[in-house]
């Protein structure tokens, strides 16, 4: 005589199996929707950290050169290069050259015309224009002491690929050259050392 145990050896019914598959599909859909947003937020946070570190390096440079902003371009590089760009000038102040590249930038720029490193950012030409092109370093850029409200004045910004003179990555056409790599926002580094992601239109009064 065989012993009978209720439910012994019972497998999933077709309905139960379909329910499990449906639940897995829903969870996978939710996960796939959330992951890109999480990745995007992480990239933006990394970009903001990059901007803070670059501005900190620029401020260290200023401490060494009579409180002057790092010049966008200086002469002095060996031929055939025409000079140094700001990122090459700041290289001794940077712990890691990778901070010059935004994680969301698929095409970091460099140029053979100037001593340069691949980078995603540009400097505000209003403060970094070199009035004594040919002096290197400590060229006659503006002084930090000449700028009011450091917390509302942009020094660094995410710049578009193909900007004129891409090695320098600076321009007087500021808003037209900003590259929003984080949704509709771009990361900006301010003279006081902080950085944030803003809509380009929000920065219209922050360049002078």
- The enclosing H or E element of 196 equals strand 195-198
pLDDT digits (tens, 9 = 90+) for 130-166: 765 544 455 567 899 999 999 999 999 998 866 555 4
How high is the pLDDT of residue 115? 54
pLDDT digits (tens, 9 = 90+) for 50-59: 999 999 999 9
pLDDT digits (tens, 9 = 90+) for 64-119: 999 999 988 776 655 555 567 888 889 999 989 899 999 998 877 766 555 567 88
- In three-state secondary structure terms, 19 is helix
pLDDT digits (tens, 9 = 90+) for 157-180: 998 866 555 444 454 456 778 999
Determine the Cα–Cα distance for residues 141 and 84; give it in Å rounded to an integer. Answer: 15
Average pLDDT, whole number, for the chain? 80
């Amino acid at each position: 005589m065989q012993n009978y145990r209720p439910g012994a050896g019972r497998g999933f019914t077709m309905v139960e199996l379909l329910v499990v598959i449906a639940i897995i599909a829903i969870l996978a859909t939710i996960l796939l929707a959330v992951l890109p947003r999480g990745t995007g937020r992480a990239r933006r946070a990394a970009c903001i950290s990059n901007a803070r570190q670059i501005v900190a390096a620029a401020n260290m440079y200023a401490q060494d050169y009579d409180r002057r902003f790092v010049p966008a371009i200086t002469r002095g590089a060996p031929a055939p290069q025409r000079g140094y760009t700001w990122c090459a000038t700041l290289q001794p102040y940077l712990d890691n050259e990778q901070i010059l590249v935004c994680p969301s930038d698929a095409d970091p720029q460099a140029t053979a015309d100037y001593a340069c490193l691949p980078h995603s950012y540009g400097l505000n030409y209003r403060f970094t224009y070199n009035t004594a092109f040919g002096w290197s370093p400590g060229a006659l850029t503006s002084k930090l002491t000449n700028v009011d409200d450091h917390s509302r004045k942009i020094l660094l910004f995410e710049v578009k690929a193909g900007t004129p003179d891409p090695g320098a990555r600076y321009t007087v056409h500021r808003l037209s050259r900003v590259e929003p790599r984080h949704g509709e926002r771009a990361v900006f580094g301010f003279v006081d050392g902080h950085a944030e992601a803003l809509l380009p239109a929000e920065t219209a009064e922050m360049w002078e």
